[in-house]
Chains A and B, each alone.
Chain A
Amino acid sequence: MTISKEELRRASVDARLKLTVEEEERLLTDVNKIIQQAKSLINLDLQEVKPTFYGSEQKNFLREDIEGISLKNDEALANAPESDQFYFRVPKIVEE
């Protein structure tokens, strides 16, 4: 199992991150080293083992449908890089 540069590039687009050529090379090498280190684990037959996705086994509970306090508009927008009256502003959606 070897990860290709193409797969790595696809993943970085999905993570919305751009790596420099050197960083990309470095990551590709490291990733394949890690995969190599983990080879014995990856090949273990764990079909009967249930995954653990959570930090604890505590059971969850529900809240009632009762309105609480929301932020004021100026609080909501306080850290916004760009805002426009009541709104957050973003560059146009359509890619050209």
Chain B
Amino acid sequence: MSEFETIIGLEVHVELLTKTKLFCSCSTAFGAEPNTQVCPICLGLPGEIIPVLNRKALEYAIKAALALNCDITDVIDFDRKNYFYADLPKGYQRSQFFNPMGTNGYVEIEVGGSTKRIGIKQLHLEEDAGKLLHTGDDIITSPFSLVDFNRAGVPLIEIVTEPDIRSAEEARLFLQELRNILRYIAISDCKLEEGSMRADANVSLRPLGSNKFGNKTELKNMNSFRSVFNGIEYEVKRQSKILREGGEVLPETRHWDEDKGVTKGMRSKFASADYRCFPDANFLPYELSTDWIEKLKDSLPELPLARRRRLMDEYGLPAYDAEVLTSSRELADYYDATLRFSPAPKVVSNWVMGEILRLLKAAEIEITECKITPENLAELLRLIEKGEISGKIAKEVLEEMSTTGEKAESIVQRKGLAQISDEDTLRKLAIEVIAANPRSVEDYRSGKKKAIGFLVGQIMRKTKGKANPQLVNKVLEEELNK
């Protein structure tokens, strides 16, 4: 047990899935040639200063704030955060400093079997900066840098947590849950690797039992859930070593170096601690109507946590199943849709978590692209239930369904895969098999009951696996015991 308590707060930036930028009508599409999705406004050209707010971006920010249980501001205005950097066209970033979109919210995560609430201090809407490219090996040796402003002005929300997170694992769980929520409400694709979700962590330590915060460092450049976890773990170890040796943690920004697995201090004598935030007079305040907020509230889908709980309460699913099935809204929708045609929640859960996910992974597609409709899946399961096909055959049928989209029944018929449940036919086969395998029959009759397995296998081979296994067992036993 460590003698320190870890205090973590996260600042998460999420790019919104709008077609155009926050204040101008330039495209936000990914992958265009550099500096082709720019205009006088997002380039900050002289005299081209006046922003017009994107309705969709505002709607998405409100939805996010509602989904994170925040109180919503009644007036939208933007403040200028003033600083100089090559990727910042105007010398200031427009952000909601004084009146954030949402305040005082929370996200619940499951830690060690119990629910923990992580406070959301605020959620605000702001504009992204451009992108810097460094020639040469890295930022340090690069003789100059190149700037692409296509991303400048893309709408972002920044989510700032309270310092409620106590470990790297909790940070990871929080981020996963947050990503899940934001994907459920379809406002961002939240891809850490591509930068549409970026997390910075404020990390500090304090002696156990103390209620004062120690000096914190701000960790940046963590581009995956794993690097968030590793970066924080490293930083916690680094800080505790300093503290144990009686040193003092320098409050600074540190970059996580994924390759070397260390955090590095990034110092600049020009890093400003004073952004002089003040309202942008070029953006007159916009009054949010409570009607709109109510409408958006009503439009929110069931969120992951509620959905998990419902799957457990309503269908009696184990926590693990509920977790997997709700890991995306689309998958959960698929599960729910299948249950409209099937009375067996756990059976459906097993098949969705097992075969369906396996098929998706093999084909590298999303559940929404899956050709097996919920109705057809339910029908397949019904065929098994009725004994018309075996589970083994069903997997074959499902594979076929996934490529053709055909109904289970028609595949079964077309390919003659229906289970042979006709007792006379099976009895005939049993008699043939008994006659052809005297040794196994001998073994069985002398007490080696397991020998029946071989005979069952023989019948299965003759029927290409279509024989009803229970019935085969039954008639074999009857014939052998005659």
Contacts and interface: CB of A to CB of B under 8 A. Distances in A.
A67 B284 contact: no
Interface string A43-64: 0000000000111101111111
- Chain A CB within 10 Å — which of B25, B27, B86, B132 has the most? B25
Interface stretch (A20-28, A32-40, A83-91): A83-91
Nearest to B53: A62
Given A70-B39, A73-B35, A95-B268, A65 B55 contact: yes
Contacts of B142: 92-94
- Interface residue range, chain A: 35 or more
Contacts of B274: 14
B98 to A, nearest CB: 10
Given A70-B26, A93-B132, A65 B147 contact: no
Nearest to A65: B56
B350 interface: no
A87 B147 contact: yes
Interface residues of B, number: 55
Nearest to B146: A87
A72 interface: yes
Given A63-B53, A65-B20, A91 B144 contact: yes
Interface string B25-36: 111000001111
Interface of A: 13-14, 16, 53-56, 58-73, 76-77, 79, 84-95
Closest 9 CB pairs of A and B: A68-B25, A65-B56, A87-B146, A86-B34, A60-B286, A62-B55, A53-B279, A60-B284, A88-B147
Given A54-B284, A88-B149, 11 more contacts: A16-B84, A55-B281, A65-B18, A66-B25, A67-B25, A69-B25, A86-B36, A87-B35, A87-B146, A88-B35, A88-B147
Interface of B: 18-20, 24-27, 33-40, 43, 45, 52-58, 76, 82, 84, 86, 132-134, 139-140, 142-149, 268-270, 272, 274, 276, 278-279, 281, 283-287
